[in-house]
Structure 1
Amino acid sequence: MKQVFFVCALLIGVVTSAQTYNKFDSNGKRDGEWKKNFDNTDVLRYEGTFSNGEEIGVFKFYKNINGKALLTATREFKPNTKEAKVTFFASNGKVISEGRMRDKTYIGDWKYYHNNSTQLMTLEHYNTKGFLEGVRYIYYPQGQVAEKSLYEHGKLNGKAIGYAENGNVIKIHHYKMGALHGEAQFFDEAGELLVEGMYKNDQKNGVWKYYENGQLKEEKDFTAKSNNPYKRTN
């Protein structure tokens, strides 16, 4: 008799536990803990908690890898907003990138990391409309700055600088709302000038100068109406 009672109690517990997921409130909105599987499988696709139809707390999202659920992202929702802190993961559990989103729009600072390392690879900022805005940094695997550029409403705008691993500047570009426009210079890793010239609307313009061992070796005139596009000096 005691064994029958124990089995019944166990079954009731299992049923009750199953019924705590995927429920709706009196207004027909999702409420409480939810779990969903990939179609026609028992592999978990996501899990999280709803309140009055809105996501709250941390949601976890998975990939179906050979019939197993592998964590691919988390979203931690900020109360009373559509914003969430989002983290993406590699198959080994390492963080790939992290930042904030409003619905599907990237906002604020976002960080991206090098493969097989916790070292920051890219740091960028998105405005409230989801466009890149302000300074964007790219880093070498050892942490040195590789590139610094400026964005305005999603487009490169202003001075962009590239660096060698030793910290020396190796290139300088200027942009005007996404197009190369203005002075450009290229250097070797020792910091010696190699090439300099001007861009206009993404095209080389005017006289470009080429150097070797610190000496001017060649000039090329990219002016559209130039009758002498190549001029050599030795």
Structure 2
Amino acid sequence: MKNFIVTLFLVMPILITAQTINQLDENGKRHGIWKKNFDNTNIIRYQGEFNHGKEIGLFEFYKNINKTAVLTATKQFNEHDNKAKVTFFASNGKVISTGLMDGKNYIGEWIYYHKDSKQVMTVEHYNNQGQLEGESLVYYNSGQLAEKRIYKANVINGKAIWFNESGKKLKEYNYLNGELHGEAKFYNAAGTIEIEGQYKNDRKDGVWKYYKDGELTEEKDFTRYSKNPYLKKD
């Protein structure tokens, strides 16, 4: 009898815990603390809290790596909408990226980090539809800006610039609705102009100029003329 009481005393907390998690409300919606394991294992897959079907507070998500639960993401929800502050982790615990999500859409500013480093690698901005919008910046591990692009509704537009690790320009393009269109320039490692010209509808157009040590050495005409013999050349 004494052994039975001791066993019951040890088992009761487990039974009580099991009865207070993974519960549904009167409308069949998840409510309270929920914890789920990977199928046919005791390895946790996620845990968090619901308020009548809505996620609230901190949720943690795991991967099953060699039969061990490894944290892969956290989502911090609020009580008012579906937006959450999200952080993704590598298997060694280092942060991969962080930003906001609205449902499955990335929104607002997202920051990505270099592997095994706290140094920012990429900064992107998303609109409320989950599309790239505004500046997209890429950095070297040193912190020096490497690329700068501008997006509109997920399509690259405007001027894009690439830099070397010394901060000198390597090249610059102009885009219109995802196509090269407008002025283009290329520089050597010292930042001196080497090539310049124009693109039109994603193809070289007009006169392109080539330089050596800053001096013009060659010109090439990429103007496309109509094959119609009745049309005059510009």
Scaled by the length of structure 1, what TM-score is found?
Answer: 0.92
Provide the residue aligned with 1:230 in structure 2. none
What is the Cα deviation at residue 17 of structure 1? 1.5
Structure 2: gaps (5+ residues):
228-234
Provide the residue aligned with 2:168 in structure 1. 168
Provide the residue aligned with 2:39 in structure 1. 39
Give CA-to-partner distance per residue, 1:7-31, whole Å, 9 cap, x none.
2122122211122221111221111
Give CA-to-partner distance per residue, 1:78-120, whole Å, 9 cap, x none.
2210100011001100000000000000100000000111000
Provide the residue aligned with 2:150 in structure 1. 150
Distance of aligned partners of 1:226 and 1:214 in 2 relative to their CA distance in 1, 3 Å threshold: farther
What is the Cα deviation at residue 4 of structure 1? 3.6
| Mapping of residues 58-207 of structure 1, within 5 Å | 58-207=58-207
Provide the residue aligned with 1:217 in structure 2. 217
The one-letter code matched in structure 2 to 1:219 is: E
Q: Distance in 2 between matches of 1:97 and 1:150?
A: 20
Give CA-to-partner distance per residue, 1:53-74, whole Å, 9 cap, x none.
1111111111111111111111
Give CA-to-partner distance per residue, 1:151-204, whole Å, 9 cap, x none.
111111111111111111121111112111100001012111111110111111
The one-letter code matched in structure 1 to 2:112 is: Y
What is the Cα deviation at residue 3 of structure 1? 4.7
SS state of the match for residue 115, structure 1? coil
Q: Distance in 1 between matches of 2:151 and 2:11?
A: 60
Q: 2:69 aligned with 1:54, yes or no?
A: no
Distance of aligned partners of 1:226 and 1:206 in 2 relative to their CA distance in 1, 3 Å threshold: farther
Q: Distance in 2 between matches of 1:210 and 1:70?
A: 55
The count of corresponding residues between Structure 1 and Structure 2 is 227
Two-structure CA RMSD over aligned residues (Å): 1.6
What is the Cα deviation at residue 226 of structure 1? 8.7
Provide the residue aligned with 2:15 in structure 1. 15
The one-letter code matched in structure 2 to 1:169 is: K
Give CA-to-partner distance per residue, 1:111-164, whole Å, 9 cap, x none.
000011100011111011111111111111010111112111111111111111
SS state of the match for residue 18, structure 1? helix
Q: Distance in 1 between matches of 2:63 and 2:189?
A: 43
Percent of matched pairs sharing the same residue: 56
The one-letter code matched in structure 2 to 1:16 is: I
Provide the residue aligned with 2:230 in structure 1. none
The one-letter code matched in structure 1 to 2:193 is: L
Scaled by the length of structure 2, what TM-score is found?
Answer: 0.92
Runs of 4 or more, structure 1, over 6 Å off, are none
SS state of the match for residue 11, structure 1? helix
Q: Distance in 1 between matches of 2:143 and 2:205?
A: 35
